[in-house]
Structure 1
Amino acid sequence: MELSDYIRILRKSWLVIVVTTLLGLAAAAGYSLTRTPLYESQSVVFVQSQAGTGTVSELQQGSTFAQSRITTYVSLVREPVVMNPVITELGLNVNADELAESVKSSSPLNSTLIQITVQDPDPVMAADIANSLGASLAATVERIDTPAGQEQSAIKLTRVRDAVAAYAPVSPNVPLNLALGVLLGLAVGIGIAVLRSVLDTRVRSPRDVEQLTDRPLIGAIPLDPKAKERPLIIQADPLNPRSEAFRSLRTNLQFLEMDGGHTFVITSSIPTEGKSTTTLNLAIALADSGKRVALVDTDLRKPKVAEYLGIEGGTGLTDVLIGRAKVSDVLLPWGNRSLYVLPAGKIPPNPSELLGSARMKKLLEALSKEFDIVLCDAPPLLPVTDAAVLSRVTSGAIMAVAVGKTTTHQLEGALDALETVGAKVAGVVLTMVPTKGADAYGYGYGYGYGGYGYKTPAVKGVAAKAKAPAPKRRATAKASVSAADADSDAFDDLLKPS
């Protein structure tokens, strides 16, 4: 991952990081408050040789001998032979092993000093224990290090610094504990954020798409929380940033170099990725630019085009494919534009067979000759094979991918389904792109100028924010097509009812 990816992860999971950091701080504070304060006192004992104090050589030998004994005496401090006299003297209610846990002894390098450090909840008691241990150590060394037959030991221990009661506790170290708690909480939060990002297989950025296909990204449609209330956003609110995104998609689509005409299947990996609203708004945007557009509802399982456009959809594509109606009878004009809609009609028992039939291929060929652009709203690829079958007889498929919803495995499976049947992927459209938050990074550029220089098309009787027009009667459809096409009879002849 690049630096920008980590920044996006931190922006996206900032709340988790803040919570874990606060939890770490709270845990450290709780730990510090529940610990018993400990005070530390230290006494220092000097070790010297008492033998051979006459010449320099003897002094040197005595110092060397004393240093050689230092390690032994440091360890001796925590032994019962030194501890027990102190326990008896001070009347402590502990044994030697328990007292040893609060005592540390050490010696600086190349010195003959022994440091005895004691920690205790009572600062006065800590000082008394340290001083008593120093005295007990001196007495013990003199007793056990005195050779038989001699009156004194060759080594003498002298307490050179008495322990004093401390004013402030050394434990718990509250500032250090709080700092460690914050760092630990921060590290845990960042770890959780990175782990969530690694385990999250949903499509979040164009890079996720680029890793699966080399087909171009031709559009990014921002998320609209009110999409269900106004699916035809380009008709309801032409100045909306989402409307501008569809016009950008229209421009990019017109520059696609595809062999075999401009007939496109718009599909997705799974349901509810916004492929139907993308198809409808794209069709309207193309018609607004002066293109003659045919919109065919090829979703013969859950058709939505007629419902969204507010037209009669009881008769449509299925009637044409079984030879029960002419194309011109069911191809309806919409919105006083050069946009003609072929609804799905009745839901058949064999959608895949109808869409893969020779008659469907002939229909698309006929429509591609009469219109500049033909758009087919198809079912998602993973649940059914309809879109894959249909994409074989079109210029290509346009994949709608919902950001934050579609997983990379689902998108890969959909692309594999198209590749299996030899279909082309014309491009990818990202839908439901967040306009705020970490995932919006890289998408928001230009959306702030959604209405810049744009004028609402002059549509007679329809305001810029009006609802979809009322349903058209099929009786006027043929007349409308005939008025637009001088050769409508030849168009109907291409698909004579059987």
Structure 2
Amino acid sequence: MMTLSDFLQTIRRSLVVLLVATLLGGGVGALTAAVSTPQYRSTGQVYVSVQPGAPDVSDLAQGNNAAQQKVNSYVQVIRSASVLQPVIDELRLDTTATELARKVVSTTTVDSVLLNISVTDEDPEEAARITAAVISSFSRVVTENLEKPTDGGASLVRIETVQPPLAPEEPSSPDLVQYVTLGLAFGLALGVGGALVRQTLDSKVRTRDDIARVTSVPVLGTIGFDATATTSPLVVHSDPRSPRAESFRSLRTNIQFVEADAQRRSFTITSALPSEGKSTTAANLAITMAESGASVVLVDADLRRPRIAQLMGIEGAAGLSDLLIGRTELDDVTIPWGHGNLSVLPAGQIPPNPSELLGSDAMLALIDQLTTEFDFAIFDAPPLLPVTDAAVLSRLTSGAVVISSVRRVSQKQLAAALDALRSIGSKTLGIVMTMVPTKDRGSYDTYYAADTDSHGAPEQGRRSRTPRTP
């Protein structure tokens, strides 16, 4: 069920659509008014009275009350065929009494003996002519038929014209302001309806609430969208004071609280789909952890489409795959990076059996060795839905951190990815939202939002080698 907060967020996300729909509605209203045939309304007013038999005060009062009661009935009589057919015959109109009745309007006010009779027509002169004929026919029908005494003589009801109908100078419709106003209102309503329908049909992950609908796994951090991420992916290194770099530091702090009592901490970084920012997140997270004084190894465990070597600017011809088949030693393929606390293990040659290698005893032994020599081991793994590599690897590490790109992955896809981990007994440590629109960052700040370089770091420097300068 949509809450008020959900409704307001939907409206905010659809402001452009609402604005366009509203303006289009107003434009349609203005266009409709411009192409509509002008209509002219001519109005006349009559006075209805009942003449008493004897002119004393009580009879005059009774006559006035009787006139007021009759006026309410005459409102309907004016639009009857008995009044309108003589008008058609007299003016030789090419219409019927029913059609003419649609052009005639009769009104009165409470406790009044005045009747307003109006006729609308495309010709102002014709409108006035028909109105005058309707008043005349109405007067005859009442005095000569409806209110004529049964014993003969003149009718006690008198109908006098007090305001003769005139040909109007300005059309009564179309009313440009009214048409535009209605068009704007209709366009706005249509836009709101469209936004709500779109929200109902669109199941993309956009907010924390969307993730909460899928899982109770905590959101460890949110990373803002950056159009320059493709050219400058290592924002923690290239622009360390930027808000996006600060987001990675907040993520580092939160992850350090995950499995805080564990002596050996290794994390599988994965996502539901490709291109959600998992490799960029893994690289920046590794750098921030190393900056805090911890010894960190970043392993490119995506043996299908490796990216870490390219991101870090290192040679990746030999690496993890060569190590797992016994072709080389760990010291020969790990490359120091930065200021000495970070080492990178590239993927190496792409093997024909990635899943088997990642789930092998050799991989388990390597993870044990890495977590012994380093404070943190971060594994960049393939996405969960296309292949099983990440799920297999996550069973061997402390657990998986799932990257969820805003507006890219659907709630159903995220749920399927989490189910893939759960089905084999892997632990999902948390979710990181990436590519969050900058305007929405304020509502997505994590609990531990401050820079925490001064606390939360584990024991430092189990491994130190000559670093590679990035």
Question: What range describes the TM-score normalised by the shorter chain of this pair?
Answer: 0.7 to 0.9
Q: Aligned-pair distance for 1:120?
A: 2.6
> Which residue is equivalent to 2:104?
103
Deviations 1:423-460 (A, max 9, x none): 11222222222224xx44524799x999x999xxxxxx
SS of the residue 2:269 aligns to? strand
Whether the 8 Å CA contact 2:149–2:155 is kept in 1: the answer is: no
Q: Aligned-pair distance for 1:191?
A: 2.3
Please identify, of 61-70 and 278-287, the stretch whose mean Cα deviation from structure 2 is larger. 61-70
Provide closer, same or farther for how the CA distance between residues 282 and 63 of structure 1 changes in structure 2, counting only shifts above 3 A. Answer: closer
> Which residue is equivalent to 2:211?
209
Q: Does 1:193 align with 2:189?
A: no
Provide closer, same or farther for how the CA distance between residues 236 and 74 of structure 1 changes in structure 2, counting only shifts above 3 A. Answer: closer
SS of the residue 1:442 aligns to? helix
Residues 88-167 of structure 1: pairs in structure 2 closer than 5 A: 88-90=89-91, 92-109=93-110, 113-145=114-146, 150-165=151-166, 166-167=168-169
SS of the residue 1:211 aligns to? helix
> Which residue is equivalent to 2:418?
415
Q: Aligned-pair distance for 1:330?
A: 2.1
SS of the residue 2:117 aligns to? strand
> Which residue is equivalent to 1:21?
22
> Which residue is equivalent to 1:472?
none
Residues 397-416 of structure 1: pairs in structure 2 closer than 5 A: 397-416=400-419
Task: Give 2:299's match in structure 1, choosing from 284, 291, 296.
Answer: 296
Task: Give 2:330's match in structure 1, choosing from 316, 323, 327.
Answer: 327
Residues 65-464 of structure 1: pairs in structure 2 closer than 5 A: 73-90=74-91, 92-109=93-110, 113-145=114-146, 150-165=151-166, 166-258=168-260, 259=262, 261-436=264-439, 439-443=440-444
2:54 and 2:43 map into 1 onto residues whose CA distance is 30
Q: Aligned-pair distance for 1:63?
A: 7.0
Q: Aligned-pair distance for 1:263?
A: 0.8
Q: Aligned-pair distance for 1:369?
A: 0.9
1:443 and 1:178 map into 2 onto residues whose CA distance is 40
Q: Aligned-pair distance for 1:279?
A: 1.1
2:109 and 2:246 map into 1 onto residues whose CA distance is 77
SS of the residue 2:165 aligns to? coil
> Which residue is equivalent to 1:493?
none
Unaligned runs of 5+ in 1: 455-480, 485-498
Whether the 8 Å CA contact 1:41–1:163 is kept in 2: the answer is: no
Please identify, of 48-57 and 286-295, the stretch whose mean Cα deviation from structure 2 is larger. 48-57
> Which residue is equivalent to 2:460?
none
| Equivalenced residues, count | 455
What is the TM-score of this pair, normalised by structure 2?
Answer: 0.84
Whether the 8 Å CA contact 2:224–2:441 is kept in 1: the answer is: no
Q: Aligned-pair distance for 1:374?
A: 0.7
1:236 and 1:149 map into 2 onto residues whose CA distance is 106
2:23 and 2:398 map into 1 onto residues whose CA distance is 56
Whether the 8 Å CA contact 2:33–2:176 is kept in 1: the answer is: yes
1:369 and 1:137 map into 2 onto residues whose CA distance is 106
1:50 and 1:290 map into 2 onto residues whose CA distance is 109
Provide closer, same or farther for how the CA distance between residues 145 and 333 of structure 1 changes in structure 2, counting only shifts above 3 A. Answer: closer
SS of the residue 1:238 aligns to? coil
Q: Aligned-pair distance for 1:71?
A: 6.2
Whether the 8 Å CA contact 1:291–1:338 is kept in 2: the answer is: yes
> Which residue is equivalent to 1:473?
none
SS of the residue 1:392 aligns to? helix
Provide closer, same or farther for how the CA distance between residues 256 and 81 of structure 1 changes in structure 2, counting only shifts above 3 A. Answer: closer
1:64 and 1:311 map into 2 onto residues whose CA distance is 103
Provide closer, same or farther for how the CA distance between residues 331 and 184 of structure 1 changes in structure 2, counting only shifts above 3 A. Answer: same
Whether the 8 Å CA contact 2:48–2:114 is kept in 1: the answer is: yes
Provide closer, same or farther for how the CA distance between residues 358 and 61 of structure 1 changes in structure 2, counting only shifts above 3 A. Answer: same
Whether the 8 Å CA contact 2:222–2:446 is kept in 1: the answer is: no
1:145 and 1:214 map into 2 onto residues whose CA distance is 80
SS of the residue 2:204 aligns to? coil
Whether the 8 Å CA contact 1:270–1:381 is kept in 2: the answer is: yes
Q: Aligned-pair distance for 1:334?
A: 2.6
Unaligned runs of 5+ in 2: 455-462
Whether the 8 Å CA contact 1:142–1:152 is kept in 2: the answer is: no
Whether the 8 Å CA contact 2:250–2:446 is kept in 1: the answer is: no
